[in-house]
Amino acid sequence: MKKRAHSLEMDFVNSHEKQKMLYKRTLLIVSISQIFGGAGLAAGVTVGALLAQQMLGTDAFSGLPASLFTLGSAGAALVVGRLSQRFGRRIGLASGFFTGGLGAIGVVIAAVTNNLILLFASLLIYGAGTATNLQARYAGTDLANSKQRAKAISIAMVSTTFGAVAGPNLVGPMGKFAVSIGVPSLAGPFILSATAFILAGIFLFIMLNPDPLLVAKMIESNKAKQVDVKQSSPVESMKNNRGIAVGATTMVLTQIVMVAIMTMTPVHMEHHGHGLNEVGIVIAFHIGSMYLPSLITGILVDKIGRTAMSIASGATLLLAGVIAASAPSDSMVLLVVALSLLGLGWNFGLISGTAQIVDSTDSSTRAKTQGTVDVLIALSGASGGALSGMVVANSSYATLALAGGILSLVLIPVVIWSRKSKKEPEQGLQM
């Protein structure tokens, strides 16, 4: 079986036409899987804080679910990255989605039995689906050149929109379905998460063959045999390390700000008389803004540069924080605007940061490095989720939103510093 798979991948090494076909096919497969993954992610995010609030009986720890499943996604990101590096994207991504699906099933069982220990453990495992959904964006870049990478990332991400927007809007119907089968209504969305993650895993396992990362490795290995390839100079290595550092910083900061404000918005809305359907609408706009603009963002990142779009991310997140902090508690319109800008700022940061990571690595280390960076992203999200509940409990939602917006401004000096000794990535590495 391994020999046959190796032979299949070797067919693509010497044919540029086949490589282009595989690149397009991979983007299509990843995009379809992202529809399922987006639904699984969004449904759980929408009601996680409310479920914890209901089971714990306090607001102080309502940010704990976001903290737990982002903490779980940290470990999963590392494992999925290592599995992908060794066995290819197909095995790594499918394993991650299957694990996330099992975690979602555990959350449902915990809600039925009112078991807090099982709930916390299951949320950690559920985080594997979150990590895998995020790492799937890398698969489309394996066979892309430097001028296609941001666009490839964006095509995968924009597909997530369909599932991500549907997920929150299915909160009400899934809650009714859950009650009809004897399950608490807030656990209903996790039934959807389990189904969506498992379907995404099955689809990738069957369809992502030949594996794009394994083909990319073979292409680079073949080039190395045909040409006397020089080792990277110390200056080039330093530039690559700097690119990884800047890309990681951009994604970490945007993740902290986004998770912190997003996590406490449903609780803030519930306290001021908004129902579950209204919460679903606001989160749907937020998650739609996280993914839907991706195609345009990808083109902009490739055309005007990683640096400019990273700065735009910081400015957009600041505006989101200011509007969220100043919005009247009964204003659905301003909350929708604030959360939409929050999602858009995250989108700018994630795509520009991801492109910098891909620019600064090659296929021999790429998946491993990507997994390590995603660990940092997940840990930052866990910190943001954990601290958000405490900040709101001891101060206010407005304080949290404003502090998040101000924190995002750190992005601007970071990316300006990177420009002093590094040219724009678009002029850098080629596949």
Backbone angles phi, psi at 359, to 5 degrees: -60, -30
At 59 the pLDDT is 63
pTM over 0.95: no
Output DSSP code: residue 421.
S
Whether 12 shows a pLDDT value over 80: the answer reads no
At 398 the pLDDT is 86
Q: Where is pLDDT greater, at 12 or 232?
A: 12
CB 78, CB 193: distance < 8 Å = no
Other Cβ atoms less than 10 A from the Cβ of 334: the count is: 15
Calculate mean pLDDT across residues 289-306.
Answer: 87
Q: What is the DSSP string of 27-70?
A: HHHHHHHHHHHHHHHHHHHHHHHHHHHHHHS-STTTTHHHHHHH
User: What are the pLDDT digits (tens) for 312-337?
Assistant: 999 999 999 999 888 887 788 899 99
Whether 242 shows a pLDDT value over 80: the answer reads no
Q: CA 187 to CA 183: how far, in whole Å?
A: 7
3-class state of residue 272 by DSSP: coil
At 77 the pLDDT is 87
Calculate mean pLDDT across residues 126-140.
Answer: 85
- Per-residue tokens: 70: 């982002």
Q: pLDDT-based confidence at 236, cuts 50/70/90?
A: low
Q: What topology does CATH give the domain 2-219+233-422?
A: Growth Hormone; Chain: A; (1.20.1250)
For all residues of the chain together, what is the average pLDDT? 81
Kindly give, in sequence order, each residue whose CB lies less than 8 Å from that of residue 400, ignoring residues fewer than 6 positions away. 260, 261, 264, 388, 391, 392
At 43 the pLDDT is 66
User: What are the pLDDT digits (tens) for 14-50?
Assistant: 777 888 888 889 989 998 998 888 888 766 666 777 7
Whether 371 shows a pLDDT value over 70: the answer reads yes
Helices 16-56, 89-113: inter-axial angle, 10-degree rounding? 20
Least confident piece of the model among 46-55, 146-155, 391-400: 46-55
CA atoms within 13 A on the CB side of 341: 21
User: What are the pLDDT digits (tens) for 91-126?
Assistant: 999 999 999 999 999 989 988 888 888 888 888 899
User: What are the pLDDT digits (tens) for 377-431?
Assistant: 878 877 787 788 788 888 888 888 888 888 888 877 777 766 655 554 443 333 3
At 197 the pLDDT is 94
Q: pLDDT-based confidence at 184, cuts 50/70/90?
A: confident
Q: What is the DSSP string of 194-211?
A: HHHHHHHHHHHHHH--S-
Output DSSP code: residue 170.
T
- Per-residue tokens: 345: 């700022």
Output DSSP code: residue 395.
S
